[in-house]
Chain A
């Protein structure tokens, strides 16, 4: 065994098993959740108004493959015992509650898995609907029966069976509503690479959450002396929740709702706020119903908005892809030419080499030159195919740091054949040094290619010497510009009309190219404008935000 394999096997042996981190997270989360649940108890009755551990366990199960579930359930046991034993409950009852808590998580997760493949998505109404029905309804209902039965069986306390079912049901349903979407939303955000937000977004989120907390504390955690509460008080958090739904989507609402719940429960537990009745049970019930009634529609609203945005995004990406493929179809003659050139060079070089070998076998220098050129030509053909394949691919939008000059050069070589056959000379005027831009390489290439092809179309009637197309790149403060300038006849209509969908001047045109180009540039936080130049011809100006220069 050599050193490498030894190191590798040692590393493999030392690498923690896949379930270890989730299990640890579950243990810690479960313990903290249980302590929080206990703090949310309305004294003198030991009734928790919000019991997070079960929902937390359920969410953890949803995020893990089924074969690892046992590890998570096992990890919850020490946490459960550690939390419960502090409250002086008999060991049998502690274990019984562990069993019923696990049953809730298992019922919820198994039911959900039966209807939804993989982790439920919070940008799908169907997934979220099933999530609410299983995690916030079915699981608490069924496990409450088990739980109440166990309590009666062990003989802990004096409560009536149906009271126990009731109490537990609401507390766990509320927890399911608050905790499961929260964890799933943040897990999805992390899985998507924890998308970077701009500073302004962070500020907005901070304002939203502090506003929400302030309103909730004021409405639900201030001393309430009046027997009568103005109904408007209950609507006070609504603007903030709507704000979260519209501006931050499911993750915003899934985070805002628990914040509101914690503030409300804290107030109620301390005898503050509008939820005050004769008995702690009724107080808890009223508050829980209020929170549930507020949560479900807002969560569904955010999900519906997110779903619509997702569908729009998907269809836009399909349309973008289709128009890209259509454009490549138009270019196919030029691309064939582009591949034919290196093939010609390879063939003629090889045949020349045969002649040289037959007639002047001593000349090694020329043969080596020939081979060098064959390699160059072959690589060039390979590059053409690579670029083409990338353009044809229909992929997710991928954001990366890009060099505008490189984008222009790639597009120029892709269009080279087409431009040559049309007798158009493309002149690059590229800035020596540009800050990077952030975006999807293929989509931005599509935009530049579209502009170059349009410019070429516009110049088809020009005299040979005038068929010049210039592509400029330059940087101004915080911006990168890519300008495509032609010497065609310019526009006969207002430039804005060019960008409208289905407007076209070409006999075979769909009229989608420019409108898609504009939406791509807008999605990159930039602008695409068209101007008629004074000296004749048109210019299309792309402006994109620059990334900060690397130190």
Chain B
């Protein structure tokens, strides 16, 4: 099963419920880690964690929504699946707005839970790959000289070598050399490819 190594973290203050979810998810083939208190979870989670989190919405000390905020502010980007004793509409809206994968009501439907966990794990993997790509591109970008970077920005803006040369106050021939070096450093063969990589590093525009 593709999820064999996937890590699902369950946080619920009710130990009986916690154990039952642990067993259910394990029986469906997931790797499961459990915490009975939100604070405990925040303290003991590893660095750069992967997988997804299944958590109770209402817990003493720190509610699920507050925990979600805490994760967000510590850049723990794992997708969250909420389970809740009573499906209060405002809470679920808030949770979904904050990026929760799903909001399930107790008693939890097995198929829905496993489905939501799979979606969450997929999303986590996709996000992880996306971040890895971004990191690689950022690394390549940082290997450029300031001049090469200026050329890149010109190329991405769709300018001709001549225009770039004029703007930078240098010969077109020089630009051609910079451009070739820049394209090699960025590992691309075409302008289209370069533009795709460049947009990946840009923050999405509203």
Contact = CB atoms under 8 A, between A and B. Distances in A.
B58 A421 contact: yes
Nearest to A355: B27
| Highest count of chain B CB atoms <10 Å: which of A333, A348, A420, A425 | A348
Contact of B60 (A337, A373, A425): A425
Interface in B1-42: 13-14, 16-17, 19-21, 23-24, 26-28
Interface in A308-348: 333, 336-337, 340-348
B61 A425 contact: yes
A341 B66 CA distance: 21
Contact of A464 (B21, B27, B62): B62
Given A420-B59, A421-B58, A344 B20 contact: yes
Nearest to A349: B20
A352 B14 contact: no
A237 interface: no
A346 B86 CA distance: 17
A344 B106 contact: yes
Categorize the interface residue count of chain B.
20 to 34
Contacts of A531: none
| Highest count of chain A CB atoms <10 Å: which of B14, B28, B59, B60 | B60
B110 interface: yes
B49 interface: no
Contact of B21 (A336, A348, A355, A377): A348
Interface residues of A, number: 36
A348 B86 contact: no
A419 interface: yes
A376 interface: yes
A333 B86 contact: yes
Interface in A373-395: 373, 376-377, 380
B60 A424 contact: yes
Contacts of B27: 351-352, 355-356, 359
B107 A340 contact: yes
A366 interface: yes
A443 B65 CA distance: 36
B67 to A, nearest CB: 10
A53 interface: no
A377 B59 contact: no
B27 to A, nearest CB: 3
B158 interface: no
Contact of B24 (A351, A377, A420): A351
B61 A341 contact: no
B106 A380 contact: no
A153 B17 CA distance: 91
Nearest to A370: B23
A96 interface: no
A157 B152 CA distance: 145
B86 A464 contact: no
A341 B14 contact: yes
Interface in B55-77: 58-63, 66
Given A336-B85, A348-B110, A342 B16 contact: yes
Nearest to A350: B20
A356 B20 CA distance: 13
Interface string B172-183: 000000000000
A336 B20 CA distance: 19
B62 A373 contact: no
B153 to A, nearest CB: 46
A417 interface: yes
B106 A464 contact: no
Q: Which 5 A-B pairs have the closest CB atoms?
A: A355-B27, A337-B85, A348-B20, A352-B23, A425-B60
Given A344-B20, A420-B59, A464-B63, 8 more contacts: A340-B106, A341-B16, A346-B107, A348-B23, A349-B24, A352-B27, A420-B13, A423-B60
